[in-house]
Structure 1
Amino acid sequence: MTSANAENLAQALSLAYSNNPTLNAARAGLRSTDENVPQALSAYRPTVSASGSATRTWRDYEYLSGTSSRYAATTTSLGLQVQQILYRGNRTRNGVKQAEAAIQAARESLKATEQSVLLDVATAYMDILQNQAILELRKQNVAFLREQARSAKDRFAVGETINTDVNQAEASLAAAISLVYAAEATLSASQATYQQLVGKKPGTLVAGYSVDNLFPKSVDAAVKQGISQHPSVQAAKFNVDANELAVKIAEGALLPTVSVTGETGRSWTNLTGATNSASITGAVSIPLYSGGANHSAVRQAKETLGQTRIQLDLARDQIRAGIVSAWGLLQASTQQITAAKAGVKAARLATRGVVEEQKVGQRTLLDVLDAQEDEISARISLIEAQHDRIVASFSLASATGNLSAANLKLKVKRYDPTEHYKAVRDKWFGLRTPDGR
């Protein structure tokens, strides 16, 4: 019967979705990227600046008649300037599009991070279950070997066996105790990894489960789905779009810039009174030669674009390789479970038979120890195969791009990446973030 406070795999995944620092950092990074759009849009808007100054001037005059006088004046001025860029080589329009593409890429990267974190949590969860089961087997083996060592000493005491049997039993017992310590250390390491990912120490974990419903039933269909919809591939596509726009932005620096500037001001002195002024200026700036910097920037942007296209091909290749690898592990672990179950059954029967035969003198203690070791190895192989089967299903779901909180139907408040974007996109001013910081 399952304890009321037992922790299942879905709960672990839900906790990680809400608490994992890697995932939360990726969300913060996306919110930072959102701000690129209002920054790009700002080039459509006017810039307004104010100026003010106050000057006190003293002059002493000495005349030929021998007399002198002092002149003191105070001049104060206030000014306001408004500038509007009308055209800058389409760099503003392309800059907004580039920022939008970068946000789309960041959102896809966030999805990829979510999948990676959920896969790591599922793996850590199953590692704990595996290592707990192996530790329990090691302890059972120690209890069995301790009984064999005690029995060998008793038989040696009454002359029914030789001292070699006692030494063999004690040596096997010492080795088994050492393996218990190693298993405890491995379990502690897996528990620490789990706590890092989930944000709390593991409780009483119940059996895990596979997610075979999250990927197609054939490797070809899985590959086709993965290379078309995996977040890593989608992010690479948006990065290509962003860098195509970067080329256009760099080329825009070679085109004219048209602006209009309006200025108004008021100045006054204590001698002449006040003066008001106003002006409006239209300006066209045509870049003729910038030392080659602008041309170099265009070439650089084109090379970066070529790099991102190669990275897109690489992302597809990596997804394809990941799916094929995960599919192979899934099929192999399924077959290993069947074989391991048969091996455990046979090893259990063999151990019991050898023990009974040893009691009537037909087998030696060494035969019993060997049979016990074979049974423990078979049971560990079954545990490892069951662990690998579940982890492989999560790996395949992740490789196809389907391992998400939504597809897993986790009972969590889903993070909406568009909420922050909508809140800041059209903000003209304000220092506080949408959450009040």
Structure 2
Amino acid sequence: MRQACAWLIVIAGVAFPVSARAETLEEALARAYQTSPQLNAERAKQRGTDENVPQALAGYRPQIMASLSAGLQAVRDLFPGNTLQTATLRPWTIGVTVNQVLFNGNKTANSVRVAEFQVMSEREALRNVGQGVLLDAVTAYMNVMANNALYESQRTNVDVLREILATTKRRLNAGDVTPTDTAQAEARLSRGQADLNAAEVALAISKEIYRQVIGDAPSHLQPAMPVDRLAPVTQVAAVDTASHEHPAVLGAGYDVDVAQTSIRVAESALLPTVSAQVSASRSVETDTSLTTTSTDQASILGQVNVPIYDGGTAASQTRQAKEMASQSRLVLEQVRNQTRTAVVSAWVTNEGTKVALKAAESEVHAADVALQGVRRENQGGQRTTIDVLNAQQDLTNARTRQITAQRDRVIASYTLLGAVGRLDVHNLNLATPDYLPEVHYHQVRDAWHGLRTPSGQ
């Protein structure tokens, strides 16, 4: 592992200018957590879901309605004796009505519970999106580091191939080798230049993806270490942890609660509704021929509605809610199975990257020793130019596999952490405040009025 870290330090130092500001993976993750449009959009969605609770709680509160009507009324009266009388009246009425539901089959109470379960489910969805954003940031960071290292490795390979070609040409002029050796060296140099160009293209693409995910262009990226210390120590423990902590599983569990409670909301349509109404009004007439010019009214009414038959709508909605509840339970089981598969896959992949990295380190060491030996033997006439070129290509390929293995090692450890549901700001101890969705929830839960959001919009 120390060899891997040392190689990462070397490639990081070569890949970026020393004068640039150093940036660690933790800093990049913190910035992505703060600025990610995807994550901020999900947070806004969460805040919108919070509003379902005060909307449901409104069912407990009175509904107050004020009314005002006024206008012009033309009157033409014809009396016996052909006496005609006309008048223009200006009647108006003002009133206020208060409605209060006293009982609605527990529809309001169950609607509040549904809204609260929806809030909890959306919080888990937000946490799951946060895990995805952080994993994308890790992948973008490590891809830039790896592609920088691959670019430097290919550039070094091209420099070496140019040196081999120059040496071969001098030996050709001296009569030590044939034109075939020169052609072989030229062919390998052309291949190396093509590989260098491909590495440069991959580096440019990875930098742009880094900018998209993190929010800024990469600077002097520092080596990153795996986070195995934050994950469970055994595969069984990882599976068990995911079943209790992964946001997808917890969110699906809350969806079951939503569907189950929605059955009682649908059943409330079959129960009586009791309400009270208080109203007061004043009507004013301007017709002087009337015995009264204004009327004041006040009333208190109680109303009981008992559903007898609604054409089968409520019954159908209840059956529908029950089927939706069955579906949500099956989805929960499906999510559990998918999470288990993801954990096992992440676990074996993470273990596999350890083996691959160790093998790649040994391969680089052996390929380097072999290249030095082939060069000495070539100088003594025991090896041909193609042998040197093959040994150089073997070393370059080994370094490529080592760099790729180092990248995969870090990404796999973070993938495992996300698979068990622990890839978040708190567990990673990032230097950024954790977004707390419950803060907004408590700000709006008991709000009776107001159009402005807690953020002032």
Q: TM-score, normalised to structure 2's length?
A: 0.93
Partner of 1:161: 177
1:280-315 CA-to-partner distances (Å, cap 9, x unmatched) read 111111222222222221121111111111111111
Query: How far is 1:72 from its partner?
Result: 2.5
Partner of 1:119: 135
Paired AA for residue 355 in structure 1: R
Partner of 1:242: 258
| DSSP 3-state at the match of 2:387 | helix
Runs (4+) of structure 1 exceeding 3 A deviation are 1-4, 61-67
Partner of 1:14: 30
Gaps of at least 5 residues in structure 2 are 1-12
**Contact 1:263/1:280 (CA < 8 Å) preserved in 2?**
yes
Counterpart-to-counterpart distance in 2, 1:30 and 1:205: 33
Partner of 2:408: 388
Query: How far is 1:153 from its partner?
Result: 2.1
1:87-236 matched pairs, under 5 angstroms: 87-236=103-252
**Contact 2:20/2:220 (CA < 8 Å) preserved in 1?**
no
Paired AA for residue 64 in structure 2: V
Counterpart-to-counterpart distance in 2, 1:88 and 1:214: 50
Counterpart-to-counterpart distance in 1, 2:234 and 2:355: 17
Query: How far is 1:381 from its partner?
Result: 1.2
Counterpart-to-counterpart distance in 2, 1:310 and 1:184: 48
Which has the larger displacement, 249-258 or 289-298? Answer: 289-298
Query: How far is 1:360 from its partner?
Result: 2.1
Query: How far is 1:426 from its partner?
Result: 0.5
Counterpart-to-counterpart distance in 2, 1:11 and 1:55: 69
Change (3 A) 1:111 1:66: closer
Residue 332 (1) aligns with residue 332 (2): no
- Choose the corresponding residue for 1:429, options 423, 431, 449: 449
Query: How far is 1:277 from its partner?
Result: 0.5
Partner of 1:82: 98
1:16-31 matched pairs, under 5 angstroms: 16-31=32-47
Residue 415 (1) aligns with residue 431 (2): no
Query: How far is 1:96 from its partner?
Result: 0.5
1:7-62 CA-to-partner distances (Å, cap 9, x unmatched) read 00010011011111111111111111100000000000000001111132212234
1:334-377 CA-to-partner distances (Å, cap 9, x unmatched) read 11122111111110011111112112221111111111111111
Query: How far is 1:261 from its partner?
Result: 0.9
1:99-142 CA-to-partner distances (Å, cap 9, x unmatched) read 11111111111111111111111111111111111111100010
Partner of 2:364: 344
| DSSP 3-state at the match of 1:291 | coil
Partner of 2:394: 374
Partner of 1:48: 64
Residues paired across the two proteins, number: 437
Counterpart-to-counterpart distance in 2, 1:408 and 1:77: 66
Paired AA for residue 84 in structure 1: Q
Residue 322 (1) aligns with residue 380 (2): no
Partner of 2:299: 279
Counterpart-to-counterpart distance in 2, 1:204 and 1:369: 33
| DSSP 3-state at the match of 1:48 | strand
Counterpart-to-counterpart distance in 2, 1:63 and 1:48: 45
Partner of 1:310: 330
1:180-206 CA-to-partner distances (Å, cap 9, x unmatched) read 111111112211221111111111101
Which has the larger displacement, 53-62 or 7-16? Answer: 53-62
| DSSP 3-state at the match of 1:148 | helix
Which has the larger displacement, 64-73 or 310-319? Answer: 64-73
Paired AA for residue 344 in structure 1: V
Counterpart-to-counterpart distance in 2, 1:350 and 1:35: 68
**Contact 2:20/2:219 (CA < 8 Å) preserved in 1?**
no
Partner of 1:296: 316
Partner of 2:4: none
Counterpart-to-counterpart distance in 2, 1:349 and 1:281: 98
Query: How far is 1:64 from its partner?
Result: 6.0
| DSSP 3-state at the match of 2:216 | coil
Counterpart-to-counterpart distance in 2, 1:118 and 1:344: 32
Paired AA for residue 299 in structure 1: R
| DSSP 3-state at the match of 1:296 | helix
Counterpart-to-counterpart distance in 1, 2:327 and 2:181: 69
Paired AA for residue 336 in structure 1: A
- Choose the corresponding residue for 2:48, options 22, 32, 54: 32
Residue 406 (1) aligns with residue 426 (2): yes
Counterpart-to-counterpart distance in 2, 1:278 and 1:36: 35
Paired AA for residue 301 in structure 1: A
**Contact 1:214/1:403 (CA < 8 Å) preserved in 2?**
no
**Contact 1:34/1:103 (CA < 8 Å) preserved in 2?**
yes
Query: How far is 1:154 from its partner?
Result: 2.2
| DSSP 3-state at the match of 1:379 | helix
Which has the larger displacement, 114-123 or 150-159? Answer: 150-159
Counterpart-to-counterpart distance in 2, 1:61 and 1:404: 82
Query: How far is 1:407 from its partner?
Result: 0.8
Gaps of at least 5 residues in structure 1 are none
Counterpart-to-counterpart distance in 1, 2:79 and 2:435: 83
